[in-house]
Homo-oligomer: A and B are copies of this chain.
Amino acid sequence: MLSKKQNILVAALQLFSAEDYHGVSTNKIAKAAGVSEGLIFKHFTNKEGLLQAIVDEGEQRIALMFSSLLKETHPQSILDMYISAPFEVQENEYDFWRLQFKLKWHDKYYNPKKLDNIKSKITYAFEELGYAFPKEEAEALIFLIESISIGILRDGKAKHNHQKAFLLKKYKQQNQDIHDNS
């Protein structure tokens, strides 16, 4: 069983991911969490403090999620793992990711440096595989996977499975010789 504090965090995450920040009242959160409204302010000072707590928890969660990718050294595996990543996400984590993508529009909560180490890892993989423009390839792939992730969150995995297969094939080692098109 969860603590009441955790109940608040879970309920707030669910609501914030479904509606917008100002559309979710503290009253609604309290009812969904089964606690008194005042408790929210005891634990998180104010409504924004609650959102910040959710964001902070999220940063750790993301770091954990990509830790195995960052440990990987085999270039082809790095690409395969990264392409597959959005399809490995459990459905009960969708709320969390929906909120993450929504917050990208708020300068306050968007930290572009969060992806820097992943970006350099992907760049490294493209370098090793002999691509002519590894940095650009990495950026393009990251963008592409981001869009697919959003698509999955909206329509479900099933509708995007063929794209996974397509991309895994497209970025296979065997094609390496063709990338240096100078």
What residues make up the interface of A, taking CB atoms closer than 8 Å to B? 19-23, 98, 101-102, 104-105, 110, 133, 136, 139-140, 143-144, 146-148, 150-151, 154, 162-163, 166-167, 169, 174-175, 178, 181
Contacts and interface: CB of A to CB of B under 8 A. Distances in A.
* Copies per assembly: 2
25 contacts: A19-B22, A20-B20, A20-B22, A20-B23, A21-B22, A22-B22, A98-B105, A101-B105, A102-B105, A104-B150, A104-B154, A105-B154, A133-B166, A136-B162, A139-B163, A140-B166, A143-B147, A143-B148, A144-B144, A144-B147, A147-B147, A169-B181, A174-B181, A175-B178, A178-B181
Given A20-B22, A136-B166, A140-B163, 14 more contacts: A20-B23, A98-B105, A102-B105, A105-B154, A136-B163, A140-B166, A143-B143, A143-B144, A143-B148, A144-B144, A169-B181, A175-B178, A178-B178, A178-B181
A21 B98 CA distance: 17
Contact of A140 (B105, B110, B154, B167): B167
Contacts of A148: 143
A54 to B, nearest CB: 16
Nearest to A160: B139
A14 to B, nearest CB: 15
